Amino acid sequence: MLTTAAQESKYKFDAGAQLGMSSYLGEANNSILKHQGFAFGLNFRYIPNTRMAIRGIFNTASLSGNTSDMENVLPGGAQYEFSSRVYDLGARYEFNFLPYGIGETYKRLRRLSPYMTLGIGFTVASCDGETSISPNIPMGIGVKYKLSQRLNLGLEFTMTKVLGDKVDGKNLSDLYLIKSSFMKNTDWYSNISFSVTYEFGERCSTCHYVD
């Protein structure tokens, strides 16, 4: 009996690019719908089977925030505005909810599949002439569509937790007099993006034993 979760995909790798919108969430912005910026990224995947992938990613995004349009008032009525550029390098695990592929109907492959992703990486943030490096944890959901045997389209939404508090500039690291730590007072940023990838590295369809 065939187990679709263990079926190999036709190609071992894919690579491509993504383009989308980014948003910061922290002390200077409390909604991902405000202060949108642009994001661009490059992807490389290893595809062991039709249900999962290991993905390397490099993203860059512009982030900004302004406390003047927030309901919370800073101590002393102060206001703060910033603009930063972040670079995100990391690895992510992807799980397809359906066996993703085209053709080979006996495998019950689907051209369209939702998926979830979780990973680990590093964020390099540049703000007000200062540069910081912090670990991050990206998590997200998305949907893939196989346009052809090798060509894939994707739509993905991710939230990235930065294990640091310097994305919005060093002046906000202790905004509410709460000392930053591994979990407290850390920054987040979101990314909604559209991607195009191309598969390569065709697997051998038949294995032959040679004595």
What's the whole-model pTM score?
A: 0.84
- Tell me the domain boundaries of the chain: 16-202
**Looking at the DSSP assignment, which residues form a beta bridge with residue 22?**
37, 191
Chain centre to alpha carbon of residue 128: 25
- Please write the tens of the pLDDT for every residue from 34-71: 889 999 999 999 999 999 999 999 999 999 888 777 66
Q: 107: which 2 tokens?
A: 């495998």
Q: Which has the closest alpha carbon to 87: 56, 119, 57, 59?
A: 59
Q: Which residues contact 70 (CB under 8 A, 6 or more apart)?
A: 28, 29, 30
CA 149, CA 147: separation in Å to the nearest integer? 7
CA 170, CA 174: separation in Å to the nearest integer? 9
CA 134, CA 180: separation in Å to the nearest integer? 13
16-202 to CATH, choices 1.10.3720.10, 3.40.50.2300, 2.30.30.100, 2.40.160.20: 2.40.160.20
| pLDDT higher than 70, residue 211 | no
